[in-house]
Amino acid sequence: MKYSISDLYQRYPPLQGIEYSISEAFSILKNSIEKEGTVFTCGNGGSASDADHITGEFLKSFMIRRKASGKFREDAIRIFGDDEGEKICDGLEDGVKSIALNSNPAFVTAFSNDSSPFMVYAQQLHVLGKKGDVLIGLSSSGNAVNVLNALKVAKIKGIKSILMTGSGEGKCVKLADCCIKVPSDKTYVIQEYHLPIYHALCAMIEEHFYGSK
């Protein structure tokens, strides 16, 4: 199945006006993933659910079946033999390395209580992130302090950043390498636009890396 970005703009015509930033986000993701970078995501409330959703689409098949392949399949067969090796690989799927920074409640609550709730994403990115990775931050207002601090750490560590936000000029906007500003200032509309955009990005990445397999 070949995905076309034009489908996004046919279904959501207002997004045609931010085509450049969506294409830029795809290029940032593609360049990082080609070098085995990790995609980190974060947000608050509904945007935290979106961050989890993005990571979930990267870690497994989305629109194309991605059977475990390459060296992993070769090693599985070498270690366990043809039948068992193939069985293991057929039960697994290839994917993109991705971590939702809001998905570790034990750490998030501990660090919020012991240190600062405004640094929970920054702390994880400081420990886990490296140059060449990507951070996707979601903030409908563009002013989420914990997302802002994560963007600062990304800048320090040489991690490319993508901000998904609304039409306002929040504090996060100036820090992000790529800013996808959807045409609304209403939180629920902003979040409604974010979902088809990140679905499109996930589909484009999948098509690029797995479309010919």
Q: What is the pLDDT of residue 168?
A: 93
Q: What is the pLDDT of residue 1?
A: 56
CA 143 – CA 137 distance, rounded (Å): 11
User: Could you read off the pLDDT of 5-20 as tens digits, one per residue?
Assistant: 999 999 999 999 999 9
Q: How many residues does the chain have?
A: 213
Please give the single-letter amino acid code of residue 41.
T
Q: Is the Cβ–Cβ distance between 161 and 176 less than 8 Å?
A: yes
Q: What are the start-end ranges of the H helices in 91-186?
A: 105-114, 120-128, 145-157
Taking residue 112's Cβ as centre, other Cβ atoms within 10 Å add up to 14
Q: Does domain 8-60+96-210 have CATH number 3.40.50.150?
A: no
CA quadruple 115, 116, 119, 125: dihedral sign = positive
CA 8 – CA 4 distance, rounded (Å): 8
User: Could you read off the pLDDT of 153-199 as tens digits, one per residue?
Assistant: 999 999 999 999 999 999 999 999 999 999 999 999 999 999 999 99
pTM for the complete prediction? Answer: 0.95
CA 59 – CA 121 distance, rounded (Å): 20
Provide CB contacts within 8 A for 204, sequence distance 6+.
3, 5, 26
Q: Would you give the distance in Å from CA 171 to the centre of its chain?
A: 21
